[in-house]
Amino acid sequence: MSASTPAVRIRDLRKTYIVTEREAGMKAALRSLVKRKTREVKAVDNISFDVQPGEVVGFLGPNGAGKTTTLKMLSGLLHPTSGEANVLGFTPYKRERGFLTQITLVMGQRNQLVWDIPAADSFELNRAIYRIPRDEFKKTLDELVALLDLTPLMGKPVRNLSLGERMKCEIAGALLHKPKVLFLDEPTIGLDLTAQRRIRNFIKEYNERHNATVLLTSHYMADVEALCKRVVVIHHGKILFDGDLAKLVQRMNPTKTIIVELGEEGIDPQRLSVYGEVLGTENGHISLRVPKNDTARIITQMLAELPISDVSIEDPPIEDAIEQIFATPDDSNVMKAMAGD
């Protein structure tokens, strides 16, 4: 595959389910035996995008948006209703060996390791499944054990591991065959901050060391900020945004946060509401949200009118931009707002 060929290519991809519906009660149950009422659910609705070799892309959206369904189609677990999916030159649903040995799917809410045996035995099982030469397996496993600090966990049955410990082992098991494409579905879900940071650092190092392509879903914006320059936002099965993460924040939440420390005590923080929206007070620091284009003027005015001993400016949290997208009832209005520069 040449450097200009996308590692992942999606064109007009759709996945539709036909689900049955009926009202409650005995009469409705009897009627459904003769004539069932069905409706069509579009889990993924004509989406298209590319991911280049070595790129780390955040795939964002609320629960039910179509993220996991898309990853399952890209990894060959689901057959698309229509459209095209191509990963490393392969059609995923054909599940050819050359394809399966170059990709991996890690799902934070699903177990891949064998529950009742030690992690080391599960790794050995994966070695046999992927037919990894023993010398290569040992070298890769030693590297993963060191990077993820797995030595104390190797002899423990998977059922005895904490969630954070299990996720580290799950990721190690998924990478023993050195995949070129990683589909990561909520890999840090439910982990404490230390475990989240360790997983993020490992994914970043693996990407840099092996030039691996990563498509990542996460509800934790810290994951996205640390790993992704580009994000694809999906909602109701449709893509709402595909582009630079900073541009997403700029378009959907064109504000700045001003944090001030007053030189005098006893000033009511609400007095600052004339300058912007007061977000809160913490350890003597008052935070205000102001329009981005008015930031310089407002700071100048505040310095002239208030006894300010310190002031700083921050961009709004990425969560604010994402929540604003999902809170918009009409997707078409969001797409118009975010279309083009």
The whole-number pLDDT of residue 102 equals: 97
Percentage of residues in the chain having pLDDT higher than 70: 94
DSSP state of 54: T
- Residue 339 phi, psi dihedral angles, 5° rounding: -80, 130
Supply the Cα-derived Rg of the chain in whole angstroms: 25
Q: Write out pLDDT tens, residues 81-97.
A: 999 999 999 999 999 99
pLDDT higher at 286 or 249? 286
Provide mean pLDDT across the span 68-84: 97
What's the whole-number average pLDDT of the chain?
Answer: 89
Mean pLDDT of 125-132: 95
Single-letter residue type at 177? H
| Res 336 pLDDT > 80 | no
pLDDT at 183: 97
pLDDT higher than threshold 90 for residue 128: yes
53 contact partners, CB below 8 Å, separation of at least 6: 1, 3, 5, 6, 7, 180, 211, 213
DSSP for 271-287 reads GGGGTSEEEEEETTEEE
**Of the options 3.40.1160.10, 3.40.50.360, 3.30.70.1150, 3.20.20.70, the CATH number for the domain spanning 254-315:** 3.30.70.1150
Query: Which fold, 8-16+44-249?
Result: Rossmann fold (3.40.50)
Region 118-126 average pLDDT: 95
Q: Is the pLDDT of residue 72 over 70?
A: yes
pLDDT at 341 over 70: no
Residue 284 has pLDDT above 70, yes or no: yes
254, 276 Cβ separation under 8 angstroms: no
Residue spans of the domains in the chain: they are 8-16+44-249, 254-315
317-330 pLDDT, tens digit per residue, is: 777 777 777 776 55
CA distances in angstroms from 326 to 218, 239, 241, 249, 319, listed in the order given: 15, 12, 12, 13, 11
The pTM of this model reads 0.83
Tokens 């990561």 belong to which residue? Answer: 184
Q: What is the pLDDT of residue 125?
A: 94
Candidates 43, 44, 40, 52; CA nearest to 3 is: 52
Taking residues 36-63, report their average pLDDT: 94
pLDDT tens, position by position, 152-166: 999 999 999 988 899
Is 218 within 8 Å of 278 (Cβ atoms)?
no
- CA distances (Å), origin 120, targets 82, 103, 176, 189: 41, 21, 12, 23
Both tokens assigned to 234:
């999906």
pLDDT for 231-260, tens place per residue? 999 999 999 999 998 888 877 778 899 999
**What pLDDT, on the 0 to 100 scale, is given for residue 263?**
79
What's the confidence (pLDDT) of residue 153?
A: 95
With bands split at pLDDT 50, 70 and 90, how would you rate the model's confidence at 312? Answer: very high
- Confidence at residue 334, expressed as pLDDT on a 0 to 100 scale: 56
